[in-house]
């Protein structure tokens, strides 16, 4: 029997990088095709880091579908709340000349999103981008936020399928942590 073939570490890393990159492209293609077919904002910037996190750290709680969906929900809600408080729900995005209300909106949005994700134990770092997307007015209407959440849910489903097909341990909803050993009396 011949000895097992040893793949040099550099070649193995390159193979993994190419494989993950192709998987990321496939994962973002699904919501992009839906956006193309529906004319709805099914692709937004924070889906990129969500996909990267789920493909490269599949077993991390922050990458789980639970944290992904609920983290984006908390973040979108925080962004919309900040728009409401600052009176910007009808104001379009103006990234080149933000005024004091927009500065307040992004600060309040990130404050609420951070606190909400921490208190709700639904940490998902890409949610920080989602809350700014909303607070900046890029997606600001309730219907756009419903589409945003539909995109997150769809992408989470795609990530479950891709991770499972690639043999990665990835939860359907939440990471199951091992039970804590009993404490001595």
Domain ranges of the chain: 23-165
Residues 60/136, Cβ–Cβ less than 8 Å: no
Q: How far apart are the first and last CA of the chain?
A: 55
Q: Tens digits of per-residue pLDDT, 121-163? A: 999 999 999 999 999 999 999 999 999 999 999 999 999 999 9
Question: What's the pLDDT score for residue 185?
Answer: 66
Q: What is the DSSP letter of 75?
A: H
How far, in Å, CA of 168 to CA of 55, rounded?
Answer: 9
Question: What's the pLDDT score for residue 105?
Answer: 98
Can you give the pTM of this predicted structure? 0.91
Residues of the chain with pLDDT under 70: 7, 185
Helix, strand, coil % (nearest 5) of the chain? Answer: 65, 0, 35
Question: What's the pLDDT score for residue 31?
Answer: 98
């Amino acid at each position: 029997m011949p000895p097992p073939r040893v793949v040099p570490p550099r070649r193995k890393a390159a193979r993994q990088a190419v494989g993950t990159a192709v998987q990321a492209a496939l994962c973002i293609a699904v919501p992009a095709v839906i956006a193309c077919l529906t004319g709805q904002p099914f692709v937004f910037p924070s889906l990129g880091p969500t996909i990267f996190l789920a493909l490269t750290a599949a077993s991390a709680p922050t990458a789980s579908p639970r944290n992904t969906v609920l983290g984006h929900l908390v973040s979108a809600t925080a962004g919309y709340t900040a728009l409401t408080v600052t009176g910007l729900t009808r104001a379009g995005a103006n990234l080149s000349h933000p005024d004091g209300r927009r500065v307040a909106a992004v600060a309040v949005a990130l404050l609420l999103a951070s606190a909400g994700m921490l208190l709700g134990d639904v940490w998902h770092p890409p949610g920080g981008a989602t809350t700014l997307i909303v607070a900046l007015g890029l997606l600001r209407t309730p219907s756009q936020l419903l589409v945003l959440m539909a995109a997150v849910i769809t992408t989470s489903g795609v990530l479950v399928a891709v991770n499972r097909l690639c043999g990665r341990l990835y939860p359907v909803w939440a990471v199951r942590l091992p039970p804590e050993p009993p404490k001595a009396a």
